[in-house]
Amino acid sequence: MTDYIIKSSNLGYDSIADFNSEFLVMAHQFKFDVIIVGSGAAGLATALRLPKSLSIGIIAKASLKEQSSYYAQGGISAVLEKDDSVDLHTRDTLDSGADLGDEAVIRKTVSAGRDTVEWLTELGMPFTRDQQDPNNSGLHLTREGGHSRRRVVHAADATGKALQKTLYAHAVEQDNVKILNRHIVIDLITAEGECQGLYALNLDSQHVDAFRARKVVLATGGASKVYLYTSNPDGSTGDGIAMAWRAGCRVANMEFIQFHPTCLYHPEAKSFLISEAVRGEGGRLLLPDGSRFMQDFDERGELAPRDIVARAIDHEMKRLGTDCVYLDISHKSRAFVKSHFPSIYEKCLQYDIDITKQPIPVVPAAHYTCGGVLVDECGRTDVQNLYAIGETSYTGLHGANRMASNSLLECLVYAQAAADDIGKSIKTGGKLPWVSPWDESKVTDSDEDVVVAHNWDELRRFMWDYVGIVRTDKRLERAQHRCNLLAREIDEYYGNYKVSSDLIELRNLVTVASLIIRSAMARKESRGLHYTLDYPQRDEKYRKATILVPDSKAENRVIPLHNRST
């Protein structure tokens, strides 16, 4: 969407604002009241919740389909049944989070579940209905791991797709909202402790544009792409976390990365999950020699919880030095497999894997980033006028492990909280400060893109091997050493060459990798998703969030959850 750019306009800011859409200033300079980075569930919902009197720009580097929100299968959690309660949902979330969640935050978030579902229903979200059950709201509810009640609303097995289509359809209808796809934000513009806008590379024109705004909302999703294997789309490179960190925001709990135990392992198959239902229906996990191994790790075998299965697979892969293990459902009848798992059957067949006859190669994959930019109850960060919501943020909801279907709820609830706060605090009267244009006078075109490609691979490989599902002090030290080397090399490269999307993402990935490593090193216990062989037990001393402070002179500080303003 570049049709509204007026090249080399010499009109002043005020006159432009008068005659044209409020967002255009002059060549490659744009102005909005609010800029939202990201068009996933968090970003789109924020745009819809903001007052219609504000001009809103949504900037996204990829299309609607290339974001985690679109991929979500299970659903959105909400207390809707008569025998359910906010107390129960709060308790389940605290338990899943290994007692590290913030109870007040959890209670506030889950209390908003019913209103959130009603809002989506009003927007036309096609939730799967269940008219037979007088106990609930007419919506079909499923039960997922960790939930003690049926409380997950869904749209068949493609909730994210339906959600994104619903939100997007409304966003494009609004005159005050402009959606700019294929723009990758490079960095935030800050001065005197406040955010004044951002720079973004237009992926079509290859020009870096400056965007000025009164408020900026980061809704950039997670950072799972920092690992070799991930269930996430390519854009989950932690850009928002890295940008906020560079701008001076604290980040929290980055050591807690959720791994899904079984993602299809095939060079051409990206991000395809093999549902836990396959194990639920009798699927067996096998080593390359055909032997089973789950019984050695947990008496529930293949039915053990997600993190235990992921850890067992990781252990066996590291022990044997293999690239994957196998999940076999071929002992069931062909008719059973095809009727229970039609999409898995079809998808695997595309790669010449007939799951009715042969086992499926699988690996665990990074799935969800529990930590992120530290925010308050309205999504406000440490930098004035800068908000972070959705997977990119750390609100205190998930603690040390995310309970299934709580994340979309968090996106939607914090979208409203941030929008309300912006609506109350924004002052639209005065001029916005001038920002200098992006300066490329001292950089040249890269003549060695192989450096970027190589470092991408190296980073994701060592993060997988050393900072993955099972950690040790030694592995973390190795990773930190490599991370520091890469960071220096990437910094130098960034300083000398023109930016590209791969370089921008790599620069962010190395920052996020470093934050994960530092956080993991600071937690000398095993809790939730952080498991280390050197400290295999929980330790009450560490029942607090790991908060990193962006000050090169400061040591990593571990600040108790209830003392965030320190």
> Which residues are known to be catalytic?
306
Within 10 angstroms of residue 525's Cβ, the number of other Cβ atoms is 18
Categorise residue 253: left if φ over 0, alpha if ψ from -120 to 50, beta otherwise: left
Minimum distance of ligand FAD from residue 474's CB (angstroms):
31
Q: If you count them, how many residues does the chain have?
A: 566
**Taking the CA atoms of the chain, what radius of gyration do you get in angstroms?**
23
Residue 348 contacts ligand FAD per CB under 6 A: no
Kindly tell me which of 41 and 106 has the beta carbon lying closer to ligand FAD: 41
β-pairing verdict for 325-328 and 360-369 = antiparallel
CA 380, distance to chain mean position in Å, is 18
Whole-number Å distance between alpha carbons of 404 and 397:
12
Binding mask 13-52 for ligand FAD (x = CB under 6 A): ------------------------xxxxxxx---------
Contact 187, 195 (CB under 8 A): no
SS3 362: strand
Residue 356 contacts ligand FAD per CB under 6 A: no
Site for ligand FAD in 381-420 (CB under 6 A): 390-392, 405, 407-408, 411
Kindly tell me which of 179 and 286 has the beta carbon lying closer to ligand FAD: 179
One-letter amino acid at 445 equals D
Kindly tell me which of 159 and 532 has the beta carbon lying closer to ligand FAD: 159
Alpha-carbon distances of 128 from 21, 79, 142, 350, 481, rounded to whole Å: 40, 16, 10, 29, 50
Minimum distance of ligand FAD from residue 60's CB (angstroms):
4
Residue 371 contacts ligand FAD per CB under 6 A: no
Residue 68 contacts ligand FAD per CB under 6 A: yes
Residue 360 contacts ligand FAD per CB under 6 A: no
Minimum distance of ligand FAD from residue 147's CB (angstroms):
12
Task: State which H helix or E strand residue 262 sits in.
Answer: strand 257-264
Selected range binding ligand FAD among 126-134, 219-227, 286-294, 522-530, rule: CB under 6 A: 219-227
Structure tokens at 459: 């980073």
Selected range binding ligand FAD among 27-35, 118-126, 216-224, 287-295, rule: CB under 6 A: 216-224
Indicate which single residue of 29, 46, 55, 69 sits in contact with ligand FAD (rule: CB under 6 A): 69
Whole-number Å distance between alpha carbons of 339 and 532:
40
Residue 67 contacts ligand FAD per CB under 6 A: yes
Phi, psi of 261 (to 5 degrees): -70, -30
Minimum distance of ligand FAD from residue 540's CB (angstroms):
29
Instruction: Give residues in contact with ligand FAD (CB under 6 A).
Output: 37-43, 59-62, 67-69, 71-76, 159-160, 184-185, 219-221, 231-232, 235-236, 239, 273, 368, 390-392, 405, 407-408, 411
